[in-house]
Structure 1
Amino acid sequence: MSEQHDRVSKSSSSSISSSTQESEEEVSVTIGSLLAQARNDSGRSLGKRLLHLGSIPHTPRVNGDIPDVDNATLDHERLLERLGTYGLAEFQIEGDGNCQFRALADQIFCNPEYHKHVRKAVMKQLKEFRKRYEGYVPMEYKVYLKKMKRSGEWGDHLTLQAAADRFGAKICLVTSFRDTCLIEIVPRDMTPTRELWLSFWCEVHYNSLYGTDDLLTRKTKKKHWLF
C-alpha cells in the first residue's frame, strides 16, 4: 500500500512539474508577445524605410564557411553604411556564439539575456515539426539537434525559420551581402503578428536593430518580469 502511494505521489509530482514547466513557457511567450506588441509600431516604421528595396526568398540552411578576415571586414563596412543610410542603429549583442538567439531575445523580450529561453523554444519547434525541417539538414537530424541545443552553438538560417514559425514573427535581416540588402523570413501557415529586426554581418554576427532615435530611448526589461 505504501509502495503504491509512493508511485502515485511520484507520478503526481512529475505531472505537476511538467505542467508547471509548460505553464511557465506559455506565460513567458504571452508576456513576450505583449512586450513585442509594445514596440511593433516601431518595427513597422523600420519596414517602411526599406519598402522600395524588396527582399529575396529565404531558404532555410545550416551554416556554411565563415569568410576570411579581409572579406568580413569589407562586409561589415558595407553593413554599417547601409544602416546609416536608412537611419538604423544596432544594439550591440555579445559575440559568445549565442548572438542570433540573444538578438531575437532582445527583439521579443527587450532583454538579450533571455537567449536560453529563445533557443529552448526554437529547439522545441525543430523537434515537434521534424518533417518540416529535416530536409534542410545535411547530417543526421538527431546529431544536428544535439549540437544546436548547446549554448554557444551558432544559430543558422534554419533556426531563424523555426523562430519565425514558433513566435509567429516576420524576421527581417538587414545584411552585409553585396547583392542582398534585405532578407525576410516569414512564418509558415500563419500571418505574422510582429516584426523582428536584426542586422546580419555575413555569416559572422547578429545584432538587434532599432531606428536611431528608438535605440537612444531603449530600456532593458528586468529578467524577473517573465517568471
Structure 2
Amino acid sequence: MDNTINENTCNLSGRSSSSASTASLPDTEDDQTIAELLAEEERLGNGGNLLGRRLSHLDSIPHTPRVISEIPNADDATFDHNRLEERLATYGLAELKIEGDGNCQFRALADQLFKNPDYHRHVRKEVVKQLKSSRKLYEAYVPMKYRRYLRKMKRTGEWGDHVTLQAAADRFAAKINLVTSFRDTCYIEILPYDKNFHKEIWLSFWSEVHYNSLYDIGDVPSRLPRKKHWLF
C-alpha cells in the first residue's frame, strides 16, 4: 500500500473528538436508496475527472497513511485556512460546507458518493468493515492496538484520518483527491490498493481540523448542513 497514497507539492502561497458519542454505530441508513444511487451512477458514468484536469500537471510522490497528528493552534489554523481558500480559488473549486460534529470526513465522503452527507453512518460502517476484513493492509500504520482502533472508528463522532481515507478508497473503489492546507503539499491522491477505481471523490482538507466536499465553482449543490460547520 506504500504507493497508493500520493501527495503533490506546490508553490502556492482528526485527533479524536472528546465530545463524541461512545455508542456503537447504529445501522439506520436507507440501504435501498443508497443502492439506487449507486446503480444510477453506474448507468450514467462518473464525471469526477473534470475537476482532476486542473491538477493534472502536478507530480505525485509517495505518501504513507497515518492517523491524526497534532492539531494546530488557533493562529496556525487561521493561516492554514487562508492558504486553503487561496488554493481553492486558484483551481476554481468551491466547498460544500460540511457539519463540524466529528463526522466531517465521513459526511464529506457521503456527499461525494451518495449526494447526501447524512449517509455518513453508512460510509463509516463500510470503512470499518474494510479495516476489519483487510487488517494486514492497515495495521502497520496504526500506533495502538488494532482492536482498540476499530472500536474507536465505530463510534459516531470519531474523527477520520488518512488510514480511514485509504480504507474508503479501497472499499468504494474510488480515487480520493484532497486539496489541503499543508504548506508544502497542496494536493494528495489516494488510490485503492489494487490501483483500480471507477469513481473520483474530491475533498478539501483543512489540516488537522476539517473536511469539506469539493465542487466546481458554480456547481455547489444547495444542500445545507443541519448544524454548524467550521467557518472563520
Instruction: Place the TM-score, normalised by the shorter chain, in its bin.
Output: 0.7 to 0.9
Query: Which of the residues 127, 149, 153 maps onto 1:144?
Result: 149
Partner of 1:117: 122
| Structure 2: distance between partners of 1:36 and 1:75 | 34
**What pairs up with 1:1-227 in 2 under 5 angstroms?**
30-34=35-39, 36=41, 38=44, 40-41=46-47, 43-215=48-220, 218=221
Give me the whole-angstrom Cα distance separating, in 1, the residues matched to 2:36 and 2:176.
19
Task: Tell me what 2:10 maps to.
Answer: none
Asked if structure 2 preserves the Cα contact closer than 8 Å seen for 1:102 and 1:112, the reply is yes
Give the total of aligned pairs: 194
Unaligned ranges ≥5, structure 2: 1-26, 224-232
TM-align CA RMSD: 1.8
* TM superposition shift of 1:152: 0.3
SS in 1 for 2:99: coil
- Tell me what 1:224 maps to: none
Mapped contact 1:61–1:158 kept (Cα < 8 A) = yes
Q: Which amino acid aligns with 2:109?
A: L
C-alpha distance in structure 2 between counterparts of 1:30 and 1:57, whole Å: 34
Counterpart Cα distance in 2 of 1:33 and 1:61:
29
Q: Is the 8 A contact 2:106 2:121 kept in 1?
A: yes
Q: CA deviation at 1:52?
A: 1.2
**Structure 1 residues not aligned, in runs of 5+:** 1-20, 221-227
Q: Which amino acid aligns with 2:73?
A: D
Change (3 A) 1:120 1:70: same
Query: Would you tell me which structure has more helix in proportion to its own residues?
Result: 1
Q: Is contact 1:36-1:108 (8 Å) kept?
A: no
Structure 2 vs 1, CA of residues 188 and 39 (structure 1 numbering), >3 Å: closer, same or farther? Answer: same
TM-score w.r.t. length of structure 2: 0.78
Contact 2:65–2:162, Cα closer than 8 Å, also in 1: yes
Secondary structure in structure 1 of the residue aligned to 2:124: helix
